[in-house]
Amino acid sequence: MPGRGWCCSTSTSAASGDGGQLVEPISRAHTHVVVLTGDTNRARWGEALHRGARIVMSKTEPLNTIISTVRRVNDGVPVLSSAERQELVTHWRETTAETALVRDRLASLTARESVVLGQLMAGMAVREIADSSMLAEATVRSQVRSLLSKLDVSSQVAAIGLAYSVGWTPPQQPG
């Protein structure tokens, strides 16, 4: 028989840790999990549901709505339609697969292309990269074209956005 309703709060900040990691072990202990979060990332909501949460709610919901939902969960009343649950879990799965694909593309960059992408992310122009590396501007442009091709994007801005979207960090340059 399931335990009493339980709420946990998730956080994505490094200082606070990731409360989402608590969902699965608590759920496995036959305890209902209601996740309250300030995170608006619907993929993360889907992940929490996949890991066993009964529902994920925004911390901005009115208190009476949160309390009512916890009571309904505790009473065994459905609080999320199966279609809504499936849509969120599917969104998480698709996002996870897409992130893995982007990370694979980033891993395919040569060391030099990775450095160039990092310099672009730091706001450097091609000319500045060439000057700092003591390379011809044409050489750096060739490296940029190559990394754009490997990342399957058409602009430097898109490459930078792609790298940021998966939390990629450039390699440390020898200093």
Structure pTM? Answer: 0.59
Instruction: Name the phi and psi angles at 60, rounded to 5.
Output: -85, -5
Instruction: Name the phi and psi angles at 66, rounded to 5.
Output: -65, -50
Using CA atoms in the order 35, 41, 43, 45, what is the torsion angle rounded to 10 degrees?
10
For the stretch 52-111, pLDDT in tens is 999 999 999 999 999 999 999 989 899 999 999 999 999 888 888 888 999 999 999 999
**Dist. CA 98–CA 157, nearest whole Å:** 19
pLDDT of residue 18: 65
In the chain, DSSP assigns E strands to 6-10, 33-37, 55-58
Side by side, which strands form the sheet with 33-37?
Answer: 6-10, 33-37, 55-58
Band (19; pLDDT cuts 50, 70, 90): confident
Domains within the chain, CATH numbers bracketed: 6-98 (3.40.50.2300), 108-165 (1.10.10.10)
